Chain A
């Protein structure tokens, strides 16, 4: 039962990554590549009707984490206190940037909210990458000092950084060179993803330029992925043990590389949606590979005193997990119906649909 809810949780997170990922990416494109008012309009049109629905997946993930793995929820949310609250602030800033901009037609007003939207998107992409880095690197569970826990075995607290910025220091911080590196990977990957979404959903004059951006960033992404494979063993000595035991899991890394390989053909795709498809493959493949690499751990311990948090030692009681099944399948069924309705209404290019402006 723990495994089932783990798959559900990871599934919801992967959907969130793909969906809100393109929102962040579109924000980054908006910040760096949109010069004209028309470009900006095209970008906000492409994400306007979707972004808040996309954020619901984050709330759903939070809810499932809370109910299925309460100990993990409690431990990680209090331990990563500062970055999480900052993510909340950024999400709010991003939302008001997007929604406030068009309310008053004044170039100063618009400039402020453009920047709020763009910068918040950039920082969110960076923060989510850093968050992933923190989870694979692990934390000092129980806040062990000199071989003695100073807190209960599953609690910890991390400051934003420590002066050495090293992932192998005794006193860890949220931001070190390893997590920052994953943050940069995340920014590059989501920028590509966001550009692909804009190409897919609009007829913007920006699209040819974006295809070039995707093509170039994809080179950088490939290099970054190889470097990350090179440094992974610093934080996880046996990164491939799960893949060796279950070769079928190589599917996920393969998916990642198919995604990158496909994106090199971005300039010759027949259909505008193909780029988005390949960046989705990359994101889901990369995310799943990362999760598999540390499984069944969900938050590794960096000390020898306290055990890592796994899906088994953080899960809720059996009865609750079973009770959850009954409503979960009903809810899932409804969500799929909503999704089909939305997909049918919003299929095609946003600028072709005679659907209110956003």
Chain B
């Protein structure tokens, strides 16, 4: 009995440690990714504006470029300062994981530093302040280089992520270490390309909605109306294209990867507790009851899921009942909600953008008040969709750090106590709260000032 109590205490301590380690990583990465998701997509839109300016010599495009560069610069700085803690945390909080897999995931992370960050940091200053020094053509080129840097960064992060989801090109030594035996395999990972394109398209969705939303705000507030129209038009066109690409083909392919490589995750995502022999329904709404293995208040359409997944209405899809319980994702409800929120919002985005484009073509977009209001209030939602998309991927990988090979519990730092992690977690929460407030203050200032007043050569970012 004494032994049991002692063991129970040990387990509780371990679980508490793991809980704070996970919370800290989740919190810092969630906050961090609010910024790169805008800058990756926005860099493309900025390059587009600059390119239009070069082609048409219309000053408005250059003013638009400058305005969005200011927003970009602020987001970029936030991304940098919140990004450095991410690289450190593999070692500080996940030491065992880093020790055993560092020879592989360290490879792609080191490449990110050497290829993306040096490129971005070398040219960011020139891009932000060097327009007069460089001339417009070279200014365009620096913008393009910044874009390439940020997209390469995303690529290498998702290559790292993909290895954890679907490990390739490795062998495991007797001492438990993962060693690389095929470098190319890291980049030919079937998980990588659909995820990468899905993520980049989603980043473009965020940026397009922000550009369109600010455009709508300017039109509604009757300030900077000509810019408002330009932003809205551009945002709607980019927004429609990217919202569609997020769903088809990239989202579809990414989901099929989950079916193929992580069927148990797929069952949890979709809320399939029991295998249906004659084809699976698709669940639109419902609350999972993990204890009794059912969905409450369910609204579902029969056979659609089988069709979407296999192109066959009657195909059987494995439910959670087909898998051992200790292989189930640890947070089934969270995973289910994350996935459904992402998909639900993605559908709303497509719908809204289709209507907006329709109105744009009819020449009535700028007068359709309800649509302008909707576009403006829609701005935060792509952030939610991106975040829940990542939660789907990460919660879906649990209880593994390296899928099917290394449990999350085995990866934490052995010597860092939960008290120390809670201390730093609280510190991060406080610091990021401050950062977030400053960010909103400054971004509000830029938007309030509007594009007309932006003079990059005399003003600070």
Asked, given contacts A66-B110, A67-B106, A345-B133, whether A75 binds B95 with beta carbons under 8 Å apart, the answer is yes
Residue pair A89, B431 in contact (C-beta under 8 Å): yes
| Chain B residues near A332 (CB-CB < 8 A) | 114
Asked, given contacts A89-B431, A338-B122, whether A319 binds B460 with beta carbons under 8 Å apart, the answer is no
Inter-chain pairs besides A74-B102, A103-B445, 4 sampled, C-beta below 8 Å: A49-B129, A62-B87, A77-B95, A355-B133
Cβ < 8 Å to A, chain B residues 78-104: 80-82, 84-85, 87-88, 90-93, 95-96, 98-104
Query: CA separation between A335 and B124, bound complex, in Å?
Result: 14
Query: Does A58 reach chain B (CB closer than 8 Å)?
Result: yes
Residue pair B122, A100 in contact (C-beta under 8 Å): no
Chain B binding surface SS class:
helix
Kindly provide the distance from the CB of A144 to the nearest chain B CB, expressed in whole angstroms: 13
Interface centre among B80, B101, B125, B458 (most CB of A within 10 A): B125
Query: Does A91 reach chain B (CB closer than 8 Å)?
Result: yes
| Chain B residues near A49 (CB-CB < 8 A) | 125, 129
| Chain A residues near B420 (CB-CB < 8 A) | 81-82
Query: CA separation between A331 and B461, bound complex, in Å?
Result: 29
| Chain A residues near B112 (CB-CB < 8 A) | 63
Residue pair B107, A323 in contact (C-beta under 8 Å): yes
Which of A156, A316, A354 makes the CB contact (< 8 A) with B106?
A: A316
| Chain B residues near A85 (CB-CB < 8 A) | 85, 88, 92, 424, 427
Residue pair B77, A317 in contact (C-beta under 8 Å): no
Residue pair B77, A99 in contact (C-beta under 8 Å): yes
Query: CA separation between A357 and B128, bound complex, in Å?
Result: 11
Residue pair B98, A358 in contact (C-beta under 8 Å): no
Query: CA separation between A143 and B413, bound complex, in Å?
Result: 14
Kindly provide the distance from the CB of A67 to the nearest chain B CB, expressed in whole angstroms: 3
Kindly provide the distance from the CB of B257 to the nearest chain A CB, expressed in whole angstroms: 25
Cβ < 8 Å to B, chain A residues 113-129: none
Number of interface residues of A (CB under 8 A): 70
A interface list, Cβ under 8 A from B = 49-50, 52-53, 55-56, 58-60, 62-64, 66-68, 70-71, 73-79, 81-82, 84-85, 88-89, 91-93, 95-96, 99-100, 102-103, 143, 151-152, 154-157, 316-317, 319-320, 323-324, 326-328, 331-332, 334-335, 338-339, 341-342, 345, 353-358
Residue pair B414, A73 in contact (C-beta under 8 Å): no
Query: CA separation between A357 and B417, bound complex, in Å?
Result: 46
Q: Closest chain B residue to A318 by CB distance? A: B179
Residue pair A320, B98 in contact (C-beta under 8 Å): no
| Chain B residues near A345 (CB-CB < 8 A) | 126, 130, 133
Residue pair B128, A356 in contact (C-beta under 8 Å): yes
A sample of 13 inter-chain contacts (CB < 8 A) reads A53-B124, A55-B84, A55-B121, A60-B113, A62-B113, A63-B114, A67-B109, A78-B414, A92-B82, A99-B461, A323-B180, A331-B118, A335-B118
| Chain B residues near A99 (CB-CB < 8 A) | 77, 461
Kindly provide the distance from the CB of B81 to the nearest chain A CB, expressed in whole angstroms: 5
Kindly provide the distance from the CB of A85 to the nearest chain B CB, expressed in whole angstroms: 5
Cβ < 8 Å to A, chain B residues 434-461: 435, 438, 442, 445, 456-461
| Chain B residues near A78 (CB-CB < 8 A) | 91-93, 95, 413-416
Residue pair B113, A103 in contact (C-beta under 8 Å): no
| Chain B residues near A59 (CB-CB < 8 A) | 84, 87, 113, 117
| Chain A residues near B109 (CB-CB < 8 A) | 63, 66-67
